[in-house]
Chain A
Amino acid sequence: MRPLTEEETRVMFEKIAKYIGENLQLLVDRPDGTYCFRLHNDRVYYVSEKILKLAANISGDKLVSLGTCFGKFTKTHKFRLHITALDYLAPYAKYKVWIKPGAEQSFLYGNHVLKSGLGRITENTSQYQGVVVYSMADIPLVGSHSIIKTTRTLCSFKT
């Protein structure tokens, strides 16, 4: 277990910033406690200082996980976000997309969301922007997260 190097932190922040933008500093600097990112077996964990101190007592080969896993670094040092990060990213997301109940199941099973399945979308979402997908009940969903057409295109076809 070790802290991230400068390079690794930068790569990870760039990835996360695609979804939450400047709100990332709210994750780094929290008013209710010191939270930090630690690397263990190529996975990045977001963990509070208290839990980190406890986890340090476990030997490295026996430690499975600590805190929340945000994602992992692949063999070629690219950062891949995991679904366990959704709980932390969803509240800070800049661009959100709500999908209708019918399209929700299809999306969860890995299919694309068509225009017809789109319920709401944040204004000014640009093309290829990273978004967080919600169901109509405001529950963040898991799936691929990139917008193909912009808000304007979608709005024009809505009417």
Chain B
Amino acid sequence: MEGQSVEELLAKAERDEAEKLQRITVHKELELEFDLGNLLASDRNPPTGLRHAGPTQEAELRALARDNTQLLINQLWQLPTDRVEEALVARLPEPTTRLPREKPVPRPRPLTRWQQFARLKGIRPKKKTNLVWDEGTGQWRRRWGYQRARDDTKEWLIEVPGNADPMEDQFAKRIQAKKERVAKNELNRLRNLARAHKMQLPSAAGMHPTGHQSKEELGRAMLVAKVSTASVGRFQERLPKEKAPRGSGKKRKFQPLFGDFAAEKKSQLEMLRIMNSKKPQLDVTRATNKQMREEDQEEAAKRRKMSQKGKRKGGRQGPGGKRKGGPPSQGGKRKGGLGGKMNSGRPGLSGKRKGGQHQGGKRRK
């Protein structure tokens, strides 16, 4: 029994071993190509079982992936290893696959001004030695750069030339000349750079202090200087009588030419609606005129009745006739004068009348 169990155990152990081996050994017709530097494994076996697509392919794809990964890991385990902070690390070899460019090829730079000139004239760069014999120090010094051979700013003795001012500082003069040369070189370099990138230099056009600048140039220089602060001129005070500069506002922005036509139409209709709503429905002048006209007519009718009642015996038609002619002409322009009787009872309406409160002056036309 024990023997059997031992045999069984051994058999079981063997079977387990075989299984493990099975798991880690993968049989492929063609060997995979490995690029361990990039952790890359290329499988050239034709994928026979994967011709027809479908949901069942998932399992097969997964199996394929597992197999290939297993082979890659097997290769990795064969690499020389290091121990880094209690972790086992494999040292990868150099990658053999050449990866394509990440960024596009740089376009050729435009030639600098000197290069253009040299090309034109056919000037080739002469090969020069790096070191020159410096007589003064008795050493080989470099041609240019730090501690160069002939540095005229480092001379300890300068003869004053015959035509120069004896009080002039020749050393300072040389240092100044050097600074100017350096600045000029820097300017040219930046200009070349700007040309290469098709950018514009922040130009100081016409703003070099020459001592002979006109009023406009000085004004312009002053404006530029004012804006050249960290806050772009926001907190610069002006002199008491100085005027604000012209044309320093923001550039206006307009709607695009073919914007949304529907939106444009909608906003215009909205504007029209607002405009119409603001207009008063009641035309006040016409309303007041109408009111006045009606009252005038009533008054005239009343007067006629009174006169008719009073003068019935006399049988006079004159005033009656005149009065009949009255109302239509009263219906005309009211903006001129008023009847005297109109003043008293209606102060509210009088605001609209242009003639004011004349008593019997200009009557109805």
Interface residues of A (CB under 8 A from B): 1-3, 5-6, 9-10, 13-14, 17, 22, 24-25, 28-29, 34, 36, 38, 49, 52-53, 56, 126, 152-153, 156
Contact = CB atoms under 8 A, between A and B. Distances in A.
- Interface range on chain B (Cβ under 8 Å from partner): 20 to 34
B271 interface: yes
A14 B275 CA distance: 8
22 contacts: A2-B254, A2-B257, A3-B254, A3-B264, A5-B254, A9-B268, A13-B268, A13-B272, A13-B275, A22-B272, A24-B272, A28-B265, A28-B269, A29-B265, A29-B269, A34-B265, A36-B261, A38-B257, A53-B258, A126-B283, A152-B331, A156-B331
A126 B286 contact: yes
B265 A56 contact: no
B344 interface: no
A137 to B, nearest CB: 32
Interface in B307-354: 328-329, 331-333
Contacts of A49: 261
B180 to A, nearest CB: 44
B81 to A, nearest CB: 70
B261 A2 contact: no
A10 B272 CA distance: 8
Chain B binding site: helix, strand, loop or mixed by DSSP? Answer: helix
Interface of B: 254-259, 261, 264-265, 268-269, 271-272, 275-276, 283, 285-286, 328-329, 331-333
B276 A22 contact: yes
A3 B286 contact: no
A12 B122 CA distance: 67
B151 to A, nearest CB: 58
A70 to B, nearest CB: 14
